[in-house]
Amino acid sequence: MSGPAAVVLLSGGLDSATTLAVARHEGYHAHALSFRYGQRHTIELEAARRVAAALGAAEHVVADIDLRLFGGSALTGDMEVPKARTADEIGDGIPVTYVPARNTIFLSYALAWAEVLGARDIFIGVNALDYSGYPDCRPEFIAAFQRVANLATRIGVESGEVRIRTPLIDLTKAEIIRLGRSLGVDYSLTATCYDPDQHGVACGQCDACLLRLKGFAEAGLSDPIPYKSRPVRERAGPGDSYPNG
């Protein structure tokens, strides 16, 4: 393998798998980084491992950091994951599945690794359209973190070229799925659900499942993963939409 090195944040979900495929397609030697951060389930880490292997990542590292020390999120703490929310509810404010400062923490780890690797590119699959209202998925945040990255590191000071790459930032979920399909992503390997059962079967009702199912429906494709139940509104017409779609 040749090509420049890049660090790719890989959660095991649909967006990060597509982002890894973009990095590989652009010729990067992709160093995939996942986190065991105290999330409710580790099914997504198994998915990340499968995706990294399938898409030819140069290596896949899982960093252990325990965000349960602080809690404050339905994904790490003892709050319930909201289910079957309406379009208005999903669009209203920052949900309890937000993990405090998670992307800042993840990007900081990615930056440290990138500096060691001599990699000037860090890929993250944030998306400003079909997202759940998280502040650390916005373009303003990414631009600000890129400034930090170049101020904070030797590689940034000496080269001024660290880039936070967000190839999905302006895409709808349907466009992300079409892009990934065109790059050979096997979405049956990915895991998106915030609250899967003990066998890893997606709930079909959390915000992440709803956005994913809506994306496949709008792309005119069927989602290859199994669901415990699917929302009734998935079968509704195109006039029925979730926010930002």
Task: Quote the least distance from Cβ 129 to Zn ion, whole Å.
Answer: 20
DSSP 80: P
CB of 199 to Zn ion, least distance (A): 13
Cβ closest to Zn ion, residue 58 vs residue 201: 201
- Taking the complex as a whole, how short is the minimal distance between the CB of residue 83 and Zn ion, in angstroms? 8
Considering the complex, what minimum distance in angstroms separates the CB of residue 20 from Zn ion? Answer: 22
What angle (nearest 5°) sits at the alpha carbon of residue 164, between those of residues 52 and 65? 60
Residue 90 is a binding residue for Zn ion (CB under 5 A)? no
Going by the DSSP 8-state scheme, the letter that residue 93 receives in this structure is S
**Beta carbon of residue 65, minimum distance to Zn ion (angstroms, whole number):** 24
Q: Hey, which residues does 9 pair with through a beta bridge? A: 33
Measured in degrees and rounded to the nearest 5, phi and psi for residue 35 equal -130, 135
User: How many CA within 13 A on the CB side of residue 113?
Assistant: 24
Please state, in angstroms and rounded to a whole number, the distance separating the CA atoms of residues 78 and 76. 7
Q: Which of 23, 209, 213, 225 binds Zn ion (CB under 5 A)?
A: 209
Q: Which of helix, strand or coil describes residue 33?
A: strand
- Smaller CB distance to Zn ion: residue 162 or 203? 203
- Please, are residues 111 and 152 in contact by the beta-carbon 8 Å criterion? yes
Q: Which is nearer to Zn ion, 110 or 208 (CB)?
A: 208
Binding mask 124-163 for Zn ion (x = CB under 5 A): ----------------------------------------
Compare residues 161 and 197 and give the one whose CB is closer to Zn ion. 197
First and final CA of the chain: distance in angstroms?
A: 38
Neighbouring CB atoms inside 10 A of 219's CB total 19
Query: Token digits for 10?
Result: 């890989």
In the bound complex, what is the minimum distance in angstroms from residue 208's beta carbon to Zn ion? Answer: 6
Number of residues that bind Zn ion (CB under 5 A): 5
Nearer to Zn ion, 166 or 205 (CB): 205
Window 189-208: residues binding Zn ion (CB under 5 A): 193, 202-203, 206
Query: Which token pair is 226?
Result: 């199994």
Site string for Zn ion, 157-196 (x = CB under 5 A): ------------------------------------x---
Mark 140-151 as b/e (b = at least 16 C-beta within 10 Å): ebbeebbebbbe
- Choose between 15 and 121: whose C-beta lies nearer to Zn ion: 15
Tokens encoding 102: 């998670």
Residues that bind Zn ion (CB under 5 A): 193, 202-203, 206, 209
